[in-house]
């Protein structure tokens, strides 16, 4: 294993660990489950969100598979073809992953009791507009974009490029749905926030 293999393996484990710890903290302190999938109003969004969770688990599996060189291929061999093998994109990938992970941890902490995964209509948190949310309305989604791109640059495999092409539009669609929900809940406060702060950057 190279430095890059260790790097992506450790960051994936750190991401999963942070997500679990943050969700458990909310669950214990507030007595709710902050992971909400499948209760969206439209059937299309419900299906997409229910499929997104196993798709993300598969993506994380492929990252671990690549970093540990397990050689377990669940898709046709073409998907694992490397498009490049230079060190320059790998270094850029490390920078994007690191920046994204720092952003994710910071945003997760600054959300406090409002941390949710999905749209929680029954137990929504308060509106957070300070910290990293003062320059991005969706810093956690920004992390996913940065992290996904970084993983592709580290590995160069077609499978991770395909993931970006599928994942980015879905995440953007989710961001739009959440914005619609927040606007309906917080009204002018959220609309004024939208005028001041960009959706991503």
Report pLDDT digits (tens) over 148-192.
Answer: 999 999 999 999 999 999 889 888 988 998 899 899 999 999 999
Count of beta carbons in the 10 Å neighbourhood of residue 36: 18
In this predicted structure, the answer to whether residue 40 has a pLDDT above a threshold of 70 is: no
What pLDDT sits at residue 187? 94
pLDDT digits (tens, 9 = 90+) for 82-133: 998 889 999 999 999 999 999 999 999 999 889 988 888 888 889 999 999 9
Mean model confidence pLDDT for the chain: 90
In this predicted structure, the answer to whether residue 37 has a pLDDT above a threshold of 90 is: no
In this predicted structure, the answer to whether residue 39 has a pLDDT above a threshold of 70 is: no
Give the lowest-confidence range in 5-14, 128-137, 162-171, 190-199.
162-171
What pLDDT sits at residue 25? 92
pTM: predicted TM-score of the whole model, two decimal places? 0.90
What pLDDT sits at residue 101? 95
Question: Which residue bears the tokens 């750190």?
Answer: 14
What pLDDT sits at residue 49? 73
On the 0-12 / 13-18 / 19+ scale of CB atoms within 10 A, 49 is: buried
In this predicted structure, the answer to whether residue 36 has a pLDDT above a threshold of 70 is: yes
CB of 25 closer than 8 Å to CB of 34: no
């Amino acid at each position: 294993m190279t430095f890059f293999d260790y790097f992506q393996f450790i960051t994936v484990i750190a991401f999963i660990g942070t997500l679990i710890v943050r969700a458990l903290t909310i669950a214990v302190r507030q007595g709710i489950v902050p992971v909400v999938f499948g209760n969206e109003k439209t059937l299309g969004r419900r299906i997409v969100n229910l499929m997104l969770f196993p798709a993300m688990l598969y993506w994380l599996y492929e990252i671990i598979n690549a970093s540990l060189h397990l050689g377990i291929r669940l898709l046709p061999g073409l998907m694992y073809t490397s498009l490049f093998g230079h060190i320059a994109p790998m270094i850029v990938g490390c920078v994007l992953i690191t920046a994204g992970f720092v952003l994710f941890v910071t945003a997760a902490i600054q959300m406090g009791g409002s941390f949710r995964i999905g749209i929680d209509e029954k137990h929504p948190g308060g509106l957070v507009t300070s910290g990293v949310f003062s320059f991005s309305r969706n810093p956690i989604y920004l992390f996913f974009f940065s992290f996904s791109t970084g993983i592709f640059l580290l590995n160069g495999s077609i499978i991770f490029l395909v993931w970006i092409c599928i994942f980015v539009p879905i995440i953007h669609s989710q961001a739009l749905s959440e914005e619609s929900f927040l606007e309906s809940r917080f009204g002018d406060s959220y609309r004024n926030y939208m005028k001041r702060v960009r959706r991503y950057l």
